[in-house]
Amino acid sequence: MLRTLSVRLVAIAALVTAICAMAVATSSAGTRPPSVRLLSVVKHVDVDRFGDQPDLYIQGINVASIDGTFEVDAVAGPNGTATLWQVNRDAKGVHRIRQLLPRTKVDMSAGLPNFFHAVLHDAAGKSVLDTMMPFCPAGYFGPYGGGTASRTDTNGPIQPTYPNVCGSPLSKKTVWGIDKGWAVDPGVDLVPDNLVPDGEYSLDLTIPSSWANQLDIPAKSAAIHLALTVTTQSDCSPEQPCGPSPAATRSASQHRTEGPRNVSPAESFGDNGLTASADGTPDLGALPAYKLATENNGDDHKDYLDFDATISNLGSGPLVVEGFRQGDKPLMTAKQFIYQSGKPVRSATVGEFEFDTRPGHNHWHMEDIAQYDLLDASGKRVVLSEKQSFCLAPTDPIDLTLKGADWQPDRTALWSACAGDASIWLREVLPAGWGDTYSQTVAGQSFDLSGLPNGRYQVRVTSDPAHKLLETSYTNNAAVQPIELGGTPGHRTVTLVK
């Protein structure tokens, strides 16, 4: 206990010294472009591993912003390419500082590729892991709970302002950043090919010259050496299983599976008119279906086409719909609100919420938010999914560079609450710049392929099919993905057609 207390006191003293030094460096920086530095106030880290998990999750490492706010705007391109610009953002707009040139493909959900070079040595000095790692300039868990975003001085905002995830494979444009006076834990999660024995190790983590040169990072600020003690914890049991490593919980996308329900008869297409044009109005759109796969159901022995579908809000304000209970019926009147400068300025009745009593749900769904059709090559519908209602929530950042995009929807008062059966009111929200993803993997939602011949088809995803919601435009509400069905009963296949 005395040794632990002593180590902590030393670490706290070192942290205070480091923070003071960084504050001086920041205040005297002049006009140098903002950059980042590696920061650690400890020289030794105890690494606890659970069960037979090979992961070694290293705490005590931070990446701090220096000389101001560090921001990178990322725009996805074809085949894993992306355009990255370091920018400065002020009241007059966004100003480019320099283009960043990665040497490999950019995963929009992972951030800057190959930003760290990690080498793990055992006690004899033998390398047991040598790997490159990406860097997401975001506090994955935010300052609440996980504590991976930390202040380094008092010159910046009192809370982080940038998104706490980098994005998802669906992201088209997004913003990565570390506020002035803040640092983030990069999430150093080492996964050796084989389970390394418990014992003493050392870690050398460096920022390669390809990035250090672009960002003007001195060599002394681009490298950290840590001693590690790896210990496997044995307090795991079927009654109290070991939890996953923190890195395993960082997915921005939160796919959900729904059960079948009756199809709403409401359906209309082709309305090109604008319902509203003022700032703050949402604009729902549909992304083409993806993750398409066929399966043979073991219960009914039918072939089904599974897929994921995302509806997005690329307007200048959030889609905010509130439900108001009418008596004791499992229905709520749905009312949409248009927000400007954080305040509602317009409202309209747009339909109903229905309470879903099926296992795994027991919450309220907004009716007629989306519709999924399987069309033949001529555009005639051959299968309609029974999925018609949703509990809205932001699962995937799509374009966080939009005017009005919400970088941190989990920290605002406008947050989805799907509510219980005793509720008399609820609010569901899809913030600007975000998408809501559902997986269609159960009978009734996935397409039944029984009796359908092989050939060309189209999967159509439509948002707001009955055009009940206030939007800036209905022209982008449908997306079509051509496919080719093949195979034989029990072994059907699906191929994307470009």
The two three-digit tokens of residue 233, written as one number: 């914890």
Q: Which residue, chain included where needed, has tokens 């007629």?
A: 368
Instruction: Give the integer Cα–Cα distance in Å for 88 and 128.
Output: 41
Residue 249 phi/psi, 5-degree rounding, is -105, 15
144-181 core/surface letters (b: 16 or more CB in 10 A; e: else): eeeebbbbbbeebeeebbbbbbbbbebbbbbbbbbbbb
d(CA 411, CA 54): 34
Condensed to tens digits (0 to 9), the pLDDT of residues 411-456 reads 655 555 666 666 677 788 899 999 999 888 766 678 999 999 999 9
Contact 297, 304 (CB under 8 A): yes
Residue 186: per-residue pLDDT: 87
Pick the CATH number of 284-406+413-496 from 3.30.390.10, 2.115.10.20, 2.40.110.10, 2.60.40.2360: 2.60.40.2360
**Cα–Cα dist 389/367, whole Å:** 4
Residue 341's identity, in one-letter code, is S
pLDDT of 435: 94
Residues in the chain: 498
Pick the closest to residue 435 from 297, 329, 290 (CA basis): 290
Per-residue pLDDT at 422? 63
- Please, what's the b/e burial string for 62-86 (b: 16 or more CB within 10 A of its CB; e: otherwise)? bbbbbbbbbbbbbbbeeeeebebbb
Of 2, 121, 8, 137, the C-alpha closest to 63 is 137
Contact call for residues 194 and 53 (beta carbons, < 8 A)? no
What pLDDT shows up at residue 443? 62
By the 10 Å C-beta count (0-12 exposed, 13-18 middle, 19+ buried), 103 is classed as exposed
Tokens of 253: 């996308």
Q: Please tell me the pTM assigned to this model.
A: 0.70
144-180 tens-digit pLDDT: 333 477 778 778 887 788 988 899 989 999 999 999 9
Domain spans in the chain, listed from the N-terminal domain onward: 32-248, 284-406+413-496
The single-letter code of the amino acid at 391 is: C
Residues 115, 17: Cα–Cα separation, whole Å: 27
What the block records as the tokens of 327 is: 């008596």
Residues with pLDDT less than 50, the chain: 1-30, 141-147, 237-274
CA distance linking residue 169 with residue 76, whole number of Å: 9
